[in-house]
């Protein structure tokens, strides 16, 4: 199993905090989605396939919509806690 770099870990910690604010703020939601997409690409490049799969499952549930409350915020929050 490939080692996850410290910079990816720091960005993931940032994403956790960002998600706590994102469920009621569309711009934060978009920022969270973008950051998680970047983390996914970096995990794939680093060969961290198992973690990349977990991030992908979060992104599949993350569907930012302007003017709408996130229906999956609790589910995504639970997945984020499991990391």
pLDDT of residue 36: 94
What ranges do the domains of the chain cover? 7-82
d(CA 61, CA 77): 11
Residues 6+ apart with CB under 8 A from 45: none
**pLDDT value at position 57?**
93
pLDDT value, residue 1: 59
| Amino acid 23: pLDDT | 67
pLDDT tens digit sequence for 53-70? 999 999 998 887 776 667
Residues of the chain with pLDDT under 50: none
């Amino acid at each position: 199993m490939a080692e996850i770099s410290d910079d990816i870990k720091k960005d993931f910690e940032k994403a956790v905090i960002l998600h706590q604010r994102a469920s009621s703020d569309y711009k934060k939601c978009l920022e969270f989605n973008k950051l998680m997409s970047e983390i996914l690409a970096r995990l794939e490049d680093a060969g961290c396939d198992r973690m990349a799969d977990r991030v992908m499952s979060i992104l599949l549930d993350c569907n930012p919509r302007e003017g709408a409350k996130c229906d999956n915020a609790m589910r995504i929050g639970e997945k984020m806690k499991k990391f």
